[in-house]
A and B are shown apart, each in its own frame.
Chain A
């Protein structure tokens, strides 16, 4: 693994999947110390292209050159050997192993005959995480970590394995603004030693980090050029083919707020690790307002959402929902009281992946009229419901019988949103509703949330995207280490102020 990668080129890459041309004659090139931003909407072919580069797929046509020599990667092993390292959007971590063990999996130097030299790995993890200030607990199990923390583990893993060329698939989608800024600063510093390809839809990051940008749309390169010669708006328009303006919450603060919908009073909840996840947390949300909950992931957001929905035991304190105590009721009872919930992990918590779209759309209500009567499901009503929602929510799919798990992230989220909103909830909890989605889908989901608010439904919006929170919220609560730091009115909140509160500094 000696030597640097001074240039990497992919030339005329074409890749066909059944019925789709995923890559259509794509050429990109990255020089030493350069950062290439690969931007495009979901389904534009960015990830496919990178999977080809990493040897996960073989291109049908075209070639890859490193330092002007043609290479053929038959699998990711070959790509690792050549010094390429990729951090995938979906983390490739073994849940029931520790951080160190996960890294040891690919760490061939530690594989001694008949034993694994885990201490070397742990030491190296420590060094790398210190060098790049990527804080991870080497002995924590992956399942104990939040998504943001897992992302850091992925970065440390890739660096530990000696990557000289980094491919990052939407690396900031789970980070706080500060972390994002830090990561960008760090990546910029790292360009002294390595080159980076960076997939993103966040144009401010593209502007801040990349030297070159390549825009893909429908598997084709539609634009390639130097980043600093083009404005964010310019790039956005090229990416989507039309300009997108995300909707904002313009409702005046008092206009449609009703009575208190959800009142959380001093609840204490344990995490999976049996540590205190929520520490006497209190928060009130009224009808018709969106309260944004800002915070670094892993500060109790998941536990809060689960506790409210009856999925996690509340040790003490009360949760009142329209003046009814709901703490420690079953999730069924809470759903029946009108709670809507868009969970954090849409693929395993929001939908049943092998179930069809139509089945997922009635997941919560299959026992109710008209979807069933006397315990017999009514296929026709379920079909009609699905056909209607697919149209109303613009769910793009081959048909209502398609397995929901085969849809793209944006469409899966639309299925969940359609189900939750169609139920006519009295309250909605949305956890990271737009994580990893493209601009078009984000726009749609934001619109839906605002429309739901306009109907007088209170919404608790848990997010790490400050832009999202600031665009949508009437009030913003900041969570840190399981309690609410402060609740700000929309007008009082600035990115800087929120950032400071999220970092745990009291004002």
Chain B
């Protein structure tokens, strides 16, 4: 198999996947009578067209990136964390709790403290499925999803009771939310609403690379995730590292929540988690479970998510349809990745390709 063929093969698969995604999405758009090309333009190109849009894309990429980094750590260590949504919610609650409790503490102390609280909150929420798996072999798929529900309800409860904005009680606008948090926990902004969480996300990406590939702990976690039996035989405490991995994962999701509040909303409201916990799983996989893949992947998904918010007003396509399109894109991407990693398939195509080439050569 030549190198040239391998590149050609990869490019064609990616191209076919892209065409397939566009095709499926177009059929659906056409069926609801939307303007197909305008919709695509709105979702994929328009957000890149000016600075304001770009900052909005990046705002969405930040929590995605932080959560996906954490999920990649868990995934590489052999535990799948689909509880990012719940961990993020707990992170927000912890962050808000600290901010509400100590409004007068100076910023240089309060902001780190509140972020730390979000890390700890998310980490603890990750610790639960971790310890359950380590000690009792409870499937993390079940426990993380269930903990999402618990966290979501607890979040709602807090917003309606102890965190409820006192002004809300007086005026009663009907949206349960906390009061606007003290400026001492605000993250500074770079441009528009874009905040310094961007720097945090990039620093964390480098940190995760360092942790997983340059430290003995990362080595052991990757070993445990690749072949737990051989790791156990080599004296690695697999249950311990699994638990640590999902705690890190939870801590990252919690931090994503804290950063989101500190940078964007500056108060806890419903719907802040915005499915980032689930999208984070896709971003992590799409980024090849590697920090340097996750950074661009989170940008791409940030683009899709933001683009979908533009669609209803610009081209009159309901946001739900955009979610359908996102689903299609995700399925096509995952399928294409499976095909790309299937060496047997590649081998088969190579044989056909070389037979074709040989046949042509013969005729000449």
Residues of chain A whose beta carbon lies under 8 Å from any beta carbon of chain B: 18, 58, 309, 311, 330-332, 334-336, 341, 343, 348-355, 359, 363-364, 366-367, 372, 375-377
Contact with A along B220-246 (1 / 0, CB 8 A): 101100110111111111000000000
Instruction: Given the known inter-chain contacts A332-B235, A341-B233, A377-B215, please indicate yes or no for A352 contacting B1, CB distance below 8 A.
Output: no
Q: Which residues of B contact A366 (CB under 8 A)?
A: 216, 219-220
Instruction: Given the known inter-chain contacts A332-B237, A377-B214, please indicate yes or no for A352 contacting B231, CB distance below 8 A.
Output: yes
Are A375 and B233 interface neighbours, CB within 8 A? no
**Chain A nearest CB: distance from B101 CB in Å?**
35
6 contacts between A and B (CB under 8 A): A311-B232, A334-B235, A349-B229, A350-B233, A359-B219, A377-B215
* 4 more A-B residue pairs beyond the given contacts A331-B232, A359-B223, A367-B220, with a C-beta to C-beta distance below 8 A: A335-B235, A352-B230, A355-B227, A366-B216
Residues of chain B whose beta carbon lies under 8 Å from any beta carbon of chain A: 1, 214-217, 219-220, 222-223, 226-227, 229-237, 351
Select from chain A the residue with minimum beta-carbon distance to B218. Answer: A377
**Chain A nearest CB: distance from B78 CB in Å?**
11
Are A343 and B233 interface neighbours, CB within 8 A? yes
Q: Which residues of B contact A330 (CB under 8 A)?
A: 235, 237
**Chain B nearest CB: distance from A19 CB in Å?**
9
**A-B residue pairs, 4 tightest by C-beta:** A332-B235, A335-B235, A363-B234, A352-B227
Partner of B216, one of A309, A341, A377: A377
Q: Could you say which of B222, B230, B232 has the most chain A C-beta atoms within 10 Å of its C-beta? A: B230
**Chain A nearest CB: distance from B217 CB in Å?**
6
Q: Which residues of B contact A364 (CB under 8 A)?
A: 234-235
Q: Which residues of B contact A350 (CB under 8 A)?
A: 230, 233
Complex-state Cα separation, A152 to B248, whole angstroms: 46
**Chain A nearest CB: distance from B277 CB in Å?**
27
Q: Which residues of B contact A363 (CB under 8 A)?
A: 223, 230-231, 234
Are B227 and A353 interface neighbours, CB within 8 A? yes
Complex-state Cα separation, A25 to B235, whole angstroms: 48
Partner of B229, one of A18, A335, A348: A348
Partner of A352, one of B214, B216, B226: B226
Are A352 and B223 interface neighbours, CB within 8 A? yes
**Chain A nearest CB: distance from B362 CB in Å?**
15
Q: Which residues of B contact A336 (CB under 8 A)?
A: 235
Select from chain A the residue with minimum beta-carbon distance to B231. Answer: A352
Are B235 and A348 interface neighbours, CB within 8 A? no
Q: Could you say which of A330, A352, A372, A375 has the most chain B C-beta atoms within 10 Å of its C-beta? A: A352
**Chain A nearest CB: distance from B97 CB in Å?**
33
Complex-state Cα separation, A361 to B234, whole angstroms: 11
**Chain B nearest CB: distance from A327 CB in Å?**
16
**Chain B nearest CB: distance from A14 CB in Å?**
13
**Chain A nearest CB: distance from B77 CB in Å?**
13
Are A372 and B216 interface neighbours, CB within 8 A? yes
Are A354 and B226 interface neighbours, CB within 8 A? yes
Complex-state Cα separation, A367 to B236, whole angstroms: 11
Q: Which residues of A contact B214 (CB under 8 A)?
A: 376-377
Q: Which residues of A contact B232 (CB under 8 A)?
A: 311, 331
Q: Which residues of A contact B229 (CB under 8 A)?
A: 348-349
Partner of A375, one of B216, B230, B237: B216
Are B235 and A375 interface neighbours, CB within 8 A? no
Q: Which residues of A contact B351 (CB under 8 A)?
A: 58
Q: Which residues of B contact A353 (CB under 8 A)?
A: 226-227, 230
Select from chain A the residue with minimum beta-carbon distance to B230. Answer: A352
Complex-state Cα separation, A358 to B97, whole angstroms: 48
Are B233 and A355 interface neighbours, CB within 8 A? no
**Chain B nearest CB: distance from A491 CB in Å?**
35
Q: Which residues of A contact B234 (CB under 8 A)?
A: 331, 335, 363-364
**Chain B nearest CB: distance from A191 CB in Å?**
35
Are B1 and A18 interface neighbours, CB within 8 A? yes
Q: Which residues of B contact A354 (CB under 8 A)?
A: 226-227
Partner of A309, one of B215, B220, B233, B236: B233
Q: Which residues of B contact A377 (CB under 8 A)?
A: 214-216, 219
Select from chain A the residue with minimum beta-carbon distance to B224. Answer: A352
Select from chain A the residue with minimum beta-carbon distance to B213. Answer: A377
Select from chain A the residue with minimum beta-carbon distance to B223. Answer: A352
**Chain A nearest CB: distance from B224 CB in Å?**
9
Complex-state Cα separation, A376 to B214, whole angstroms: 6
